[in-house]
Amino acid sequence: MDKFFSQKNCDKCGGSLKEGRSMSMFSTQCLCIKCIDEEKNDKDYKKAVEADHEHIKHGDYNFPGIRSGKS
């Protein structure tokens, strides 16, 4: 099983993932709901979402995000 689905703590804050999880739009971090909500307020969030969508349009479903150092 992929680590994303089995890990118990948020990669950013260390909090519990019991209430839900999502992949960061900026990297491959697994984030709790609180950190996802905070990420949405980042000034570059729209840019990150647009970059992700562009990669998906071209068949890249493993885009590591604009802040991963691999984009």
> pLDDT of the chain along its 71 residues, tens only?
688 899 999 999 999 999 999 999 999 999 999 999 999 999 999 999 999 999 999 999 889 999 876 54
Alpha-carbon radius of gyration of the chain: 12
- Cross-strand bridge partners of residue 22: 31
pLDDT of residue 68: 77
* Strand, helix or coil for residue 16: strand
- Which pTM value belongs to this model? 0.83
Residue 21 CA to residue 47 CA, distance in Å, equals 21
Residue 31 CA to residue 25 CA, distance in Å, equals 10
* Spans of all domains in the chain: 3-57
Residue 63 CA to residue 32 CA, distance in Å, equals 20
